[in-house]
Amino acid sequence: MKPKIFVAREVFDETLAFLQQHADLTTNQADQRFNAQELAARMQGIDGVVLTTAERVDSDLLEACPSVKVFSNAAVGYNNIDVAACTAHRVMVTNTPGVLDESVADYAMGLVIATCRRMTEGEHYLRAGEWKGTFLKQLLGKDVHGATLGIFGFGRIGLAIARRARGFNMKILYHNRSRAPEANEREVGATYVGKDDLLRQADIVLLIMPYNSTTHHFIAERELGLMKSSAVLVNAARGGIVDDAALIRALKSKQLWAAGLDVYENEPHFLPEFLALKNVVLSPHIASSSEPTRQAMAMTAARNCVAALRGETPPNLVNPEVVSRKLSTP
């Protein structure tokens, strides 16, 4: 008998075709957004779930859906899933690292440029019919070329961003939980510095780090106060890393020149004060949203799910202790 897989959001035809070869499917091609109770109802008797960061997995959901053996997240981040609770219930969790690195790096640099050069503000200015001609002090921005870029998070994506920054002749500083290999530093001319030193020196501070209990409000009032008043903050990582209320205060008071955001606390909800600010570029968490990349993410999640239900160790298993516990069970 084939295992039963629930696909929680709309996916691509090739992803469904692959899953149908290996499982009986329940799908959500209508792309409805389910609340916790609706999600639990659709997961009854299900063995594996392919989901996105829009779906929350916690102890209550796990208790309500005891048949589930694997949650396969179609994202590299998985802070929508209580991994500890899944491990306690012996449920595997997988993600999709690697396949989105280059697309996210492209978008992060685009967000840097759009923020520094006031691109969205300029578009709104034109659409509102305010453009009456060109003059010297019109929508003055910050140069990206030659600027000092400070990157928090120097994993695969951080390194990919640094490669792009080199093309703009930027000075690259970074801070990470641990220092990167010397070969990576040498490749992009990056210098490892402490957190506060990076904040003080960087013209552009870019966040591309995971969100967890240790990075919650990693950038808050104190950190914003250390940054140059001419600096730009770009968050292409996860909401919650930045204290959004503190950021709004800094932008309003001109303590910070501008910000570019693809993520927010409590998204898709966000603080409405952002909408009144001209010195912030707002984007709806789409850094990985190129068609080839999202297709690769969905297929990677599908392969992870199928591997888990075959009794194999999925290639992108977040909590491998689940497998070792199963092997040690009499």
Active site residue 22: no
What pLDDT shows up at residue 152? 98
DSSP secondary structure letters along 144-182: -TTPEEEEE--SHHHHHHHHHHHTTT-EEEEE-SSPPPH
Question: Taking a C-beta distance cutoff of 8 angstroms, is the pair 83, 93 a contact?
Answer: yes
Dmax over Cα atoms in the chain, in whole Å?
A: 78
Percent over 70 (pLDDT), the chain: 98
Active site residue 238: yes
Active-site residue, selected from the candidate residues 10, 187, 221, 267: 267
Active-site residue, selected from the candidate residues 117, 166, 216, 285: 285
Cα angle at 248 between 197 and 221, to 5 degrees? 40
Question: Taking a C-beta distance cutoff of 8 angstroms, is the pair 259, 247 a contact?
Answer: yes
pLDDT, tens digit, 9 for 90 and up, residues 100-118: 999 999 999 999 999 999 9
Which tokens belong to 128? 């509102």
What pLDDT shows up at residue 267? 93
Quick check: 158 pLDDT over 60? yes
Active-site residue, selected from the candidate residues 175, 238, 294, 303: 238
What pLDDT shows up at residue 326? 61
Which domains are delineated in the chain?
4-99+291-328 (3.40.50.720), 101-282 (3.40.50.720)
CA 26 to chain centre: 27
Q: What one-character DSSP code corresponds to residue 273?
A: G
Active site residue 285: yes
What pLDDT shows up at residue 325? 65
